Chains A and B, each alone.
Chain A
Amino acid sequence: MLWLHLHFPHLLLDHIRHSGESVAALVIVEGSGQTVMQACQTARNLGVKVGMRLKTAISLVPDLGIVRADQPQEARILEDQACWLYRYAAHIVLVPPDGLLAEIGSLQRMYGGLPAVWRTIEEVLHERQLTAWVGIGHTPLAARLIARNGLGECSSDTGRILQILGKMPLLAAEFDGRTCTRLQRLGLTTLGEVFNLPPTEMARRLSPETLAYIQKIQGARPDPQASWQPPHYFRQQADFIQDIEHSQGLLFPLRRMLAELEKDLCWRQQDTDCLLLALQHRHGEPTHLRIRTSGPEHRAEAFLNLISLRLEQQPFQAPVTSLRLTVKRFLEQEVPGGQDLLGESQDLNEAWHTLMSRLQARLGDTALTQLSPKPDHRPERAWRTSEVRPPSRATTASADQLPRRPLWLLQGPQPLTETPKAWFTGPERISGGWWDGQRVQRDYYIAQLSNGQLAWVFRDMREGWFIHGWFG
Chain B
Amino acid sequence: MSELLNTLMKDARVWQGHRHNKTTQAAEPTGYQALDNQLGGLGWPRGALSECLLDALGIGELTLLMPLMQKLSQAGKTVFWLNPPHTPYAPALAREGIKLDQVIMVHTEDKGDILWTLENCLRSPVTGLVIAWPGKLAAREIRRLQLAAEAGSNVCVLFRERHYAEQNSPAALRLDLVPDDQQGLKVNVVKRRGSWPGQRCSLAMTHRAGLLHHESPRVVQGPWPVAAR
| Given A407-B89, A424-B211, A454-B208, CB of A471 within 8 Å of CB of B58 | yes
CA distance A454 to B179 in the complex (A): 10
Residue of B nearest to A470 (CB): B58
CA distance A456 to B218 in the complex (A): 15
Residues in A neighbouring B97, C-beta threshold 8 A = 399
Chain A contacts with B in 383-399, Cβ cutoff 8 A: 383-385, 388-389, 391-392, 395-396, 399
- Cβ-defined contact, A407 with B219, below 8 A: no
Q: Which of A346, A368, A391 has the most CB of B within 10 A?
A: A391
| Given A367-B107, A410-B86, A411-B86, CB of A446 within 8 Å of CB of B58 | no
Residues in A neighbouring B16, C-beta threshold 8 A = none
- Cβ-defined contact, A408 with B86, below 8 A: yes
| Given A363-B106, A405-B95, A406-B89, CB of A472 within 8 Å of CB of B100 | no
- Cβ-defined contact, A426 with B220, below 8 A: yes
- Contact partner of A351 (CB less than 8 A), chosen from B55, B124, B217, is B124
B169 contacts the other chain (CB 8 A): no
Residues in A neighbouring B220, C-beta threshold 8 A = 426-427
Query: Could you name 11 residue pairs across A and B whose Cβ atoms are closer than 8 Å?
Result: A346-B125, A355-B127, A367-B106, A383-B89, A391-B102, A406-B58, A407-B62, A408-B86, A423-B222, A425-B219, A472-B61
CA distance A469 to B95 in the complex (A): 16
Residue of B nearest to A356 (CB): B104
Residue of B nearest to A385 (CB): B105
CA distance A371 to B113 in the complex (A): 22
Residues in A neighbouring B218, C-beta threshold 8 A = 424-426
Known: A367-B106, A367-B108. 6 other contacts (CB 8 A): A351-B126, A355-B126, A411-B87, A419-B229, A425-B209, A448-B183
B 48-90 binary contact with A (CB < 8 Å = 1; else 0): 0000000111111111000000000000101000000111111
* Residues of B in contact with A (beta carbons under 8 Å apart): 55-63, 76, 78, 85-97, 99-108, 113, 116-117, 120-121, 124-127, 178-180, 183, 208-211, 217-224, 228-229
Residues in B neighbouring A372, C-beta threshold 8 A = 90, 94, 100-101
A 423-463 binary contact with B (CB < 8 Å = 1; else 0): 11111000000000000000101101001111100010000
| Given A355-B126, A407-B62, CB of A368 within 8 Å of CB of B104 | yes
| Nearest CB of chain A from residue B93's CB, rounded to whole Å | 7
A 353-392 binary contact with B (CB < 8 Å = 1; else 0): 0110011001100011111111000010011110011011
- Cβ-defined contact, A469 with B89, below 8 A: yes
- Cβ-defined contact, B104 with A369, below 8 A: yes
- Cβ-defined contact, B106 with A409, below 8 A: no
- Cβ-defined contact, A446 with B209, below 8 A: yes
**Residues of chain A at interface, number, CB under 8 A:** 62
A404 contacts the other chain (CB 8 A): yes
- Cβ-defined contact, A359 with B117, below 8 A: yes
- Cβ-defined contact, B179 with A453, below 8 A: yes
Residues in A neighbouring B228, C-beta threshold 8 A = 419
| Given A363-B117, A396-B100, A402-B94, CB of A470 within 8 Å of CB of B178 | no
Q: Which of B76, B90, B124, B127 has the most CB of A within 10 A?
A: B90
CA distance A359 to B108 in the complex (A): 11
Residues in B neighbouring A348, C-beta threshold 8 A = 76, 125-126
| Nearest CB of chain B from residue A421's CB, rounded to whole Å | 10
- Contact partner of B62 (CB less than 8 A), chosen from A382, A451, A472, is A472
- Cβ-defined contact, B87 with A406, below 8 A: no
A422 contacts the other chain (CB 8 A): yes
Residues in A neighbouring B229, C-beta threshold 8 A = 419
Residue of B nearest to A389 (CB): B101
- Cβ-defined contact, B57 with A472, below 8 A: yes
Residues in A neighbouring B222, C-beta threshold 8 A = 423
- Cβ-defined contact, B101 with A426, below 8 A: no
| Nearest CB of chain B from residue A389's CB, rounded to whole Å | 7
